[in-house]
Amino acid sequence: MVLRQLKPYTVLITATGETPITLVLHPTLLGVGIALLLGVPAAWITALTWHNRQLAHHNDTLTETATEILTELEVIGSEIEVLKNRAGLPEEDAWDAVTPAAQATPQGGVAPVAPAATLLESAKQKMPGLEATLSTTVKPALEAQLASEAQQKAAFPRGKPLAGALQISSEFGLRLNPFGQRSYEMHDGIDFAGPLGKPVLATAEGVVVKADYDSGYGNHVRIDHGYNYETLYAHLARLDVKLGDRVRRGAVVGYLGNTGRSSGPHLHYSIYRNGQAVNPRYYLKLEDTE
Ligand SMILES: [Zn+2]
């Protein structure tokens, strides 16, 4: 309304010797022109600023994500160290694979694009190393370690050589000579009284290194379990294994008897560790956890 009351502007452009050019500018058109001249750059600047803010936000998010990825990689690296330790592999003095170079190097300028890109590049470089360590070093070592432990566990004498409740007739250690002489002897095992013919069971996996008769132990079986463990089952009525047989835990090695230097039907059971007889009491209590 105000513009309508204004008179048009007349601009006269003259040059010496030339016909003057007269421009009549209507206020409304002038207003539109000024608005366009000022408004378009303003809108453009606003749009640019908004766009830059979006970019900055995007870059911040990217940097955050990259940092998270690197942190995760660091955690994975530590977990791999734990697995290596479990697998019996030597520990590394410094696992420096995860410290991003971007954090160590001072970054100039204001653009947050560089750190994110550097961090992501750093993460990308760490990945194959971690993967290779896991698949070529840790995994095989861990499998071998677990297999060895399973073998060792199977070789460890556990539980009872006879089924059912045990009736101990003579403990491990010094005892009076059971054959009436007034002297002490070292009893290097435990005797279990039982009915003739009751199956006698191997208490761990191993190889039969003796399946024989002698005047002392009568019919007896000795099993080498590896890992410096051996067990002996003596005074058997009959043997059920022969030299060189591989037996599993719980396998019948023979039958309870009264052969050799024996004062009645019983099983003499010995455990040897590094060639020395140990008290089987502790091993008897170990339950079958398989
Ligand atoms: Zn005995």
Please report the DSSP string for 216-247 in residue order. Answer: TTEEEEEEEEETTEEEEEEEESEE---TT-EE
In a shared domain, residues 200 and 265: yes
In a domain, 122, yes or no: yes
In a shared domain, residues 138 and 206: no
Q: What pLDDT, on the 0 to 100 scale, is given for residue 19?
A: 81
CATH number of the domain bearing residue 232 = 2.70.70.10
Cα-to-centroid distance, 207 and ligand 1 (Å): 22
In a shared domain, residues 173 and 281: yes
In a domain, 58, yes or no: yes
In a shared domain, residues 62 and 180: no
Whether pLDDT at 99 is above 70: no
Token pair for 253 = 């090695």
Cα-to-centroid distance, 189 and ligand 1 (Å): 6
Q: Mention every residue, 6+ apart, whose C-beta is less than 8 A from residue 200.
A: 161, 162, 221, 233, 236, 252, 253, 254, 255, 256, 267
Cα-to-centroid distance, 245 and ligand 1 (Å): 24
Whether pLDDT at 114 is above 70: no
In a shared domain, residues 174 and 124: no
Q: Which among 30, 42, 24 has a CA at the least distance from the CA of 2?
A: 30
Confidence of residue 97 (pLDDT cuts 50, 70, 90): very low
Q: What pLDDT, on the 0 to 100 scale, is given for residue 102?
A: 47
Lowest mean pLDDT among 170-184, 190-204, 244-258: 170-184
In a domain, 13, yes or no: no
In a shared domain, residues 269 and 224: yes
In a shared domain, residues 132 and 232: no
Cα-to-centroid distance, 237 and ligand 1 (Å): 15
The rounded distance, in Å, linking the Cα atoms of 2 and 8 is 13
Q: What pLDDT, on the 0 to 100 scale, is given for residue 192?
A: 97
Cα-to-centroid distance, 244 and ligand 1 (Å): 24
Query: Which range in 81-95, 99-113, 204-218 is most confidently predicted, on average pLDDT?
Result: 204-218
| Percent of the chain at pLDDT exceeding 70 | 88
In a domain, 21, yes or no: no
Cα-to-centroid distance, 199 and ligand 1 (Å): 17
Cα-to-centroid distance, 288 and ligand 1 (Å): 24
In a domain, 7, yes or no: no
pLDDT tens across 55-90, in order?
989 888 888 888 888 888 888 888 888 888 888 888
In a domain, 5, yes or no: no
114 or 203, greater pLDDT: 203
Cα-to-centroid distance, 265 and ligand 1 (Å): 11
Q: Which of 123, 155, 187 is a domain's end point?
A: 155
Cα-to-centroid distance, 235 and ligand 1 (Å): 9
| Percent of the chain at pLDDT exceeding 90 | 48
118 residue type, one letter? T
Q: Mention every residue, 6+ apart, whose C-beta is less than 8 A from residue 80.
A: 130, 133, 134, 138
In a shared domain, residues 149 and 174: no
In a shared domain, residues 142 and 214: no
In a shared domain, residues 38 and 148: yes
Cα-to-centroid distance, 154 and ligand 1 (Å): 25
Whether pLDDT at 109 is above 70: no
pLDDT tens across 229-257, in order?
999 999 999 999 999 999 999 999 999 99
Cα-to-centroid distance, 223 and ligand 1 (Å): 17
In a shared domain, residues 180 and 225: yes
Q: What pLDDT, on the 0 to 100 scale, is given for residue 290?
A: 46
Residue 255's domain comprises 167-285
Sign of the Cα torsion 286, 218, 255, 169 reads: negative
Q: What pLDDT, on the 0 to 100 scale, is given for residue 117?
A: 83
Cα-to-centroid distance, 227 and ligand 1 (Å): 24
In a domain, 141, yes or no: yes
Cα-to-centroid distance, 217 and ligand 1 (Å): 8
Cα-to-centroid distance, 233 and ligand 1 (Å): 9
pLDDT tens across 8-36, in order?
778 777 877 778 888 777 888 888 888 88
Q: How many distinct structural domains can be found in the chain?
A: 2
Cα-to-centroid distance, 280 and ligand 1 (Å): 12
Averaged pLDDT score across all residues of the chain: 86
Give, as residue ranges, everything with CB less than 5 Å from ion ligand 1: 189, 191, 268
Q: pTM of the full predicted structure?
A: 0.64
In a shared domain, residues 95 and 128: yes
Whether pLDDT at 6 is above 90: no
265 residue type, one letter? P
Cα-to-centroid distance, 269 and ligand 1 (Å): 7
Q: What pLDDT, on the 0 to 100 scale, is given for residue 108?
A: 56
In a domain, 10, yes or no: no
Q: Which of 120, 155, 190 is a domain's end point?
A: 155
Cα-to-centroid distance, 170 and ligand 1 (Å): 7
Q: Which of 155, 190, 208 is a domain's end point?
A: 155
Of the chain, the end-to-end C-alpha distance in Å amounts to: 98
